[in-house]
Amino acid sequence: MAADVITLIKADHRKVEELFAKLASGRGDPRAIVAALHALLTAHARAEEDVVYPRLDAHHGLEQHKEAEVLLDSLKRAQPGGTEFTSAHALLALTVSHHVQEEESTLLPLLARTASERELRDLGRTFRQRRQQELRALTTPRKARTASPRKARATSDGGHLTKTELYERARKADIPGRSRMSKEELEKALAKTRS
C-alpha cells in the first residue's frame, strides 16, 4: 500500500533529525553529512512547496524554507570544526527543528482534516516522485557539456555554479518564482537578466 503524504513528510523529518544528531556527535565525515542534509532538505522542501503547500496556502512555510536554504548554504561553505561551521550548524538545526514542530503540530493536522485518505495517498505518490526528481538532480554528477556560446554566456563561470549559488544570484536579482525553479531554469532566468 502506498504511503500517504503525512507519513512521508514525517519520515523525512526523522531522517533530518538523525543527520543533525550525527553531525553534532562528530561521528562520520562532516562534509558527507552536510551533503546528505543539503540533498534531503532541498528535495523535501521543493516537494512540499510544489505538492503540499499550494493545497494549504502555507506562505509561512515557504519563508522558513528560504531561511533554511540560506543557513544550509553557510554550513556548506564553512570549514568543519570551525566556529562558523558550529554556529551555522546550531542555527540551522534550531530553524529546522522549529519548522518541523510547526508543520507537525499545525499544517499536517490541517491536511489530515481536509483531505481524504485517497487524496493523502495520491499526494504521497506525487510528493515522493517530486522529491526523487530533486534528489536525482542534486546528487547526479554533472555531465560534461558542450555549451553553445549563448549557454556559456548564461553560465559565465563555465557552468560550475551549484543550484544554491544560482538561487542566491536569482534572489539578489529578485527573480520571481526562483524557489520552484530547477538549476537549468535558474540559469536561463539569470541569463535573461544579463541580456
How far is the C-alpha of 143 from the C-alpha of 167, rounded, in Å?
20
For 155, residues 6+ apart whose C-beta sits below 8 A from its C-beta are 147, 161, 187, 191
How confident is residue 1, by pLDDT bands cut at 50, 70 and 90?
low
Whether the predicted pLDDT of 45 surpasses 90: yes
Whether the predicted pLDDT of 156 surpasses 50: no
Q: Which three cell numbers stand for residue 111?
A: 491536511
Whether the predicted pLDDT of 161 surpasses 80: no
Cα distances (angstroms) measured from residue 124 to each of 6, 99, 106, 186: 7, 20, 18, 27
- Condensed to tens digits (0 to 9), the pLDDT of residues 109-134 reads 999 999 999 999 999 999 999 999 99
Beta carbons of 13 and 30 less than 8 angstroms apart: no
**Residue-level pLDDT at 61:** 82
Q: How many residues does the chain have?
A: 195
Q: pTM score > 0.85 for this model?
A: no
Amino acid at 155: T
Query: Stretch 131-152: mean pLDDT, rounded?
Result: 66
Is the model more confident about 87 or about 164?
Answer: 87
Mean pLDDT in the chain?
86
DSSP track, the chain: -PPPHHHHHHHHHHHHHHHHHHHHHT-S-HHHHHHHHHHHHHHHHHHIIIIIHHHHT-HHHHHHHHHHHHHHHHHHHSPTTSHHHHHHHHHHHHHHHHHHHHIIIIIHHHHHHHS-HHHHHHHHHHHHHHHHHHHHHHHSPPPP----HHHHHHTTTTS---HHHHHHHHHHTT-TTGGG--HHHHHHHHHHHH-
Beta carbons of 23 and 16 less than 8 angstroms apart: no
How confident is residue 195, by pLDDT bands cut at 50, 70 and 90?
low
How confident is residue 151, by pLDDT bands cut at 50, 70 and 90?
very low
**Residue-level pLDDT at 142:** 64
- Condensed to tens digits (0 to 9), the pLDDT of residues 46-60 reads 999 999 998 888 877
